[in-house]
Amino acid sequence: MIKQTSKPSRKRYFGMLGLGAALLSLPFLAMQFTKEVNWSAFDFLLMGILLFALISGIEWTLRNLNSTSKRLVVVGLILLSFLLIWAELAVGIFHSPIAGN
């Protein structure tokens, strides 16, 4: 049987996507006032993809896992993965070929 999506979870998902878009607008606004922030279109695209993956992963976890402890572990792993990828792209903490600096 196909699981039907309820309206509150859709509302939560689109709310989280809106929050992601708001977070993505902060560097754009900062670029208008200072030379310290200098993002290219590729930077915005990549961060948008990362935020979308983060939000979608968390939403999938909240919809499909029933146990609170499993939810916490999976959401924690998703957040940790996001932060490590973000840090690697920003400053290259692992010195991989995708390092940003």
What digits encode the pLDDT tens for the residues 9-44? Answer: 788 889 999 999 999 999 999 999 999 999 999 999
What confidence category does residue 48 fall into, taking pLDDT thresholds of 50, 70 and 90?
very high
User: pLDDT band at residue 79, thresholds of 50, 70 and 90?
Assistant: very high
Q: Which pLDDT does position 36 carry in this prediction?
A: 92
User: Distances from the Cα of 84 to the Cαs of 16, 38, 65, 96, in angstroms?
Assistant: 21, 21, 24, 12
pLDDT of residue 3: 54
Please compute, for residue 52, the number of CA atoms within 13 A of its CA located in the half-sphere on the CB side: 6
Q: Between 48 and 98, where is the model more confident? A: 48
